[in-house]
Structure 1
Amino acid sequence: MKTLTHLFICLLSSVASAIASDAARPNILIIFTDDQGYGDLGCFGSERHETPRMDQLAEEGTKFTSFYAQNVCGPSRSALLTGRYPHRSGGWGMPASEITWAELMQEVGYETICIGKWDVSDRRAIIDRMPLAQGFDYYFGPLGANDNGKVTFHENNEPAGGTDDMGSLTRLYTDKAIKYLEEKRDETKPFVLYLSHTMMHTDIDASERFRGTSEGGLYGDVVEEFDYETGRLLDTLDDLGLSENTLVIYTTDNGPWNQPAYTEKEKGHPPGSIFWGNSGPLRNGKGSCYEGGARVPCIIRWPGKVEAGATSSAIFATLDFLPTFAKIAGFKVPKDRIIDGADQTELLLGEKPKGNRNTFFYEAHINRWENTYTVNGMRFGKWKFLKAEHTVPGYCKDTDREEVVELYDLEVDIGETNNLADQHPEIVKRMQAELAAFWNANE
């Protein structure tokens, strides 16, 4: 059950929403992909994938190049929904007591829609931890991943069939989103639509229209189909006259499957294919506490508010969505728990170019089934510190890594190639203390 504090928050939020008129409050569309690499889009440096619609979105909005999710899927989603690091918000096992931005936005008059991968109810149909109990008015999608090349759908709280046609999913989710906007949307309310794609997770595939058409192999086919389908959704916003008052956010849940410890086992390959994404200039990928694990591409478009054609290196994270949406939508941030996110409204509006975040902590799950976590390092401004011993799952372990304390200047060494720990012991000591204080903080 939700706390009495939450009920009080809802009352305050209702007052806040009365102050902010619906005409002034934007719709919000979150497009969230799975395991997509930092370097997979043309606008983020890809020379293999043609992504004209995402490139256009970047021209119409701002690219954020120091944007962070988490380094694996379930924890990434609980952090995005709650504004809390996974060791607080529960990752795959996110408890019913967590408060999501969807609940808070629902209370101030937003229509809330979730389509696609949920992945925070232990991949099971546990009603009080499914989307409708966590603030969404409508849900369609699988509760978990597609690790075995199959997904089982739920519509709201009811089973809704399934498929082993992985190439159908990107279009299916997009169709569901478009249909909702065209046929089911309450036009008297602003909406938030959270579209959480299954692709490009493990057992990837593209539809017949796109399979075999890109220069990037099967993975490139999937990237280019995602680009096309996203274009269809953005065109729908145009057709419905919604684009000018819709804040569009594109990002992904973590880095790509590109670690040798994983790929050498050939786990999850469609026959004869190697399909993992590209981390671009970043080191390593999914699961890692190097930049390729949690630093992800992000594009935000909000016509007349977010600068068009711009690039920002401000530190920003999915953790920041809840407090930022609070400012934009007019609800109160919960006070009965630690919220790790920062209000980045001033960053979005160009009023504070460096934003309101100066740190990011690199967490890793130790055991998914026991839902246990550790923290391996932190970013503080340009500096990144990593502990000597990394606790990460075996599939993402950097087998060539020497177990030493690491310190990097990310402004000049985005690829984490030059360890400066011996040259700056005072910075190492300070960051070790900051890391310990973060991990020992109480609710």
Structure 2
Amino acid sequence: MRINKTHYISILVIAVFALAAFSFAKKNELKSKKSKPNVIIILADDLGYGDPEVYNPDSKIPTPNINALAKSGIRFTDAHSPSAVCTPTRYGLLTGQYSWRTALENGVLLYWDKPLIDQNRQTIATMLKESGYNTAAIGKWHLGWLWSDERGKDVNDTLSVMPHDAKLRQPLADKIDFTKALGGGPTTVGFDYYFGDDVPNYAPYAFFENDKLLQIPDMIKPDSVYGNPGPMYSGWDLRAVMPTITEKAEKYIEEQADSKNPFFMYFALTAPHTPIAPAGEFQGTTKIGPYGDYVHQVDYTVGQIVKALEKSGQLENTLIIFTSDNGSPQRDGTGMSGAVGSVKASGHDPSKPYRGTKADIFEGGHRVPFIVSWPGTIKNNQVNSQLFGLNDVISTLAGITGNSKKNSQFEDSMDFSSVLLGKTDKPVREDIINHSAHGSFAIRKGEWKLIMTEGSGGWTKVAPAANGKKLPPIQLYNLEKDPQELNNLQAEYPELVKEMSAKLEIYKTQGYSNPDFSK
């Protein structure tokens, strides 16, 4: 029997459409089987509260994708990172415990430091994995590894994370066998998969996958390449880091479309942290230089994640969190860095309307953007002024994924799931603790903020008191009336100072601030 060409083409077209329809139906079937939402946390690195347009109408940086994400869900205006610097925030986000309760009392982990997360601790990843989730961490880690020598013996397991002495750490590079498997990384604390570069300005300058280096360092980083000294893979390109981890994240999302299990992806960006290294296509896209271009690249990355979810038919069943690990240091990007505060000369203030920068106890150090989107479940166009901490994410996800009973395990985390789902507008938190790079504490209660140091506790230099007097050792501000923290009211409200300082001391000494925590 002869089949003419037209008939053959018709059969082929019908077959293609049938296959596409089957594939679409199969994906919808898999989606319907996922009774729990996929979860993606996008953690920007050093993005300021005033960088996205949706938080700062005077921002000089186009952020259409972050704006759209906020419009599709709920935007918090009083959200805080557990610390004003990197490592402690990542620890608090994943574990629900303030990092200053661990051996890391201030600052961040340095290169070659051992893991900070105890492998017996519950993390977001272990909790969701136990609930049937596939789990992945992509991007920056900065929570430590175990490095071994050619005999397989750990070389950094006895090194204390305090004090932060680079001289004690640099010689370890000569002892490490970079072909050996690493210990203590993401795959030991609940993640099925990891891909990233650990820390963009720390050695080794190479990509990691799971517990191995994908590229073996074969040279020492030259001074012409930005970053701390140490071993580097000779093909390393700082500007390729963000595009590479973004592509990995998109690919992971696409792969999960065919899984019967929901997924959790912790996507920790390396931007706009130094090295401020926008990829070629983003250079010159803003009017304020490299810093603005890099923030614009962050916005593009957010858009790519949403597109990957849309393309794979998973957007409606995915809860997306977008936030930052601390405030911005406000560098302009000169030499991939720049002086702290230098980008403000361009007319853009990454901390607006607040005072301070990354590392500070002032609001600019730790008040961060926090956006949650879950199309069809979380109502859009919401703005919420409740006090919130990134350490609350783990309890909130526990509430959303049917793990509420585990909330008593998290020392400093509280459940906001009812707020996100529109079941209540009652305040969840009465107070919260802030912490600076140098280890200074503050406590918030309502509109009041008590700071237990005389200065910024970080990088912002505070002018000395007039007439040769000393600055008061504590500061009390009414943030509702004085968001810039300029009018210290500690002398006018001694009883409030006494009450708030006593509460802070209780939280520090008893080992938890979550009222539902069970020892």
TM-score range, shorter chain: 0.7 to 0.9
- Contact persistence 2:254–2:309 (CA under 8 A): no
User: CA separation in 1, counterparts of 2:88 and 2:486?
Assistant: 27
Alpha-carbon distance in structure 2 between the residues aligned to 1:355 and 1:193? 28
Q: Equivalent of 1:120, from 130, 143, 166? A: 143
Cα distance, 1:270 vs structure 2: 6.4
Q: How do 1:133-212 residues align onto structure 2 when only pairs under 5 Å count? A: 133-146=188-201, 151-161=205-215, 164-183=236-255, 187-212=259-284
Residue 94, structure 1, aligned to residue 117, structure 2? yes
Q: Is 1:59 the equivalent of 2:76?
A: no
Structure 2 residue runs without a partner (length 5+): 1-31, 110-115, 149-153, 155-181, 216-232, 466-470, 512-518
TM-score of the two chains, using structure 1 as the length reference: 0.85
Q: Distance in 1 between matches of 2:462 and 2:476?
A: 19
Q: 1:40 aligns with which of 44, 51, 59?
A: 51
Distance 1:257 1:361 in 2: 21
Paired amino acid for 1:24: S
Q: Distance in 2 between matches of 1:164 and 1:333?
A: 45
Match of 1:6 in 2: none
The reply on whether 1:399 has 2:467 as its aligned counterpart is no
Equivalent position amino acid for 2:55 in 1:
F
Name the amino acid aligned to 2:475.
Answer: E
Q: Does 1:247 align with 2:319?
A: yes
Report the CA distance between 1:151 and its aligned residue.
Answer: 3.4
Q: Equivalents in 1 of 2:307, 2:137: separation in Å?
A: 19
Please, which moves more after superposition, 238-247 or 75-84? 238-247
The amino acid across from 2:433 in the alignment is F
Larger Rg: 2
| Residue 73 in structure 1 maps to residue 86 in structure 2 | yes
Residue 315 of structure 1 aligns to a residue whose secondary structure is strand
Partners of 1:317 and 1:289 in 2: how far apart? 15
Q: Which residue of 2 aligns with 1:378?
A: 443
Aligned residues: 407
Q: How far apart in 1 are the matches of 2:266 and 2:282?
A: 25
Local SS of the residue matching 2:449: strand
Q: Does 1:330 align with 2:330?
A: no
Question: Is 1:130 paired with 2:153?
Answer: no
- Displacement of 1:267 in angstroms is 9.1
**Residue 452 of structure 2 aligns with which residue?**
387
Structure 1 residues 223-242: aligned runs within 5 Å: 223-242=295-314
Cα RMSD after superposing both structures = 2.7
What whole-Å deviation, never above 9, does each CA across 1:144-202 have from its counterpart, x for those lacking one? 24258x83221011101256422222221110011112136652001111100111112
Contact 2:440 2:457 in 1 (8 A): no
Work out the CA distance in 2 between the residues paired with 1:191 and 1:419: 47
Report the 3-state secondary structure (helix = DSSP H, G, I; strand = E; otherwise coil) of the residue aligned with 2:54: helix
Q: Deviations over 1:273-293 (max 9, x none)?
A: 955871111110111111111
1:10 corresponds in structure 2 to: none
Separation of aligned partners in 2, 1:186 and 1:167: 32
Please say which of residues 292-301 and 409-418 is displaced more in the overlay: 409-418
Offset at 1:412?
2.6
CA distance in 2, matches of 1:354, 1:336: 20
CA shift, 1:441, in A, is 1.3
Name the counterpart of 1:217. Answer: 289
Identity across matched positions, percent: 34
Q: CA 1:409/1:305 → structure 2, altered by over 3 Å: closer, same or farther?
A: farther
Q: AA paired with 2:481?
A: V
Question: What is aligned with 1:107?
Answer: 130
1:29 aligns with 2:83: no
Per-residue CA deviations over 1:231-257 (Å, capped at 9, x if unaligned) read 121011111111111111000000111
- Report the CA distance shift for 1:130/1:122 in structure 2 as closer, same or farther (over 3 A): closer
Cα distance change of structure 1 residues 382 and 391 upon mapping to structure 2, 3 Å threshold: closer
Aligned to 2:374: 302
Do the aligned partners of residues 186 and 121 (structure 1) sit closer, same or farther apart at CA in structure 2, a change above 3 Å counting? farther
The DSSP-based 3-state class of the residue aligned with 1:250 is strand
The residue number in structure 2 matching 1:49 is 61
Relative to the length of structure 2, the TM-score reads: 0.73
Say whether the 8 Å CA contact 2:34–2:261 is kept in structure 1. no
- Which of 325, 347, 351 lines up with 1:279 in the alignment? 351
Contact 1:62 1:301 in 2 (8 A): yes
User: Equivalent residue of 1:77, what SS?
Assistant: helix
Evaluate the alpha carbon distance shift between residue 426 and residue 400 of structure 1 in structure 2; reply closer, same or farther with a 3 A threshold: same
**Cα distance, 1:203–1:66 mapped onto 2, change above 3 Å:** same
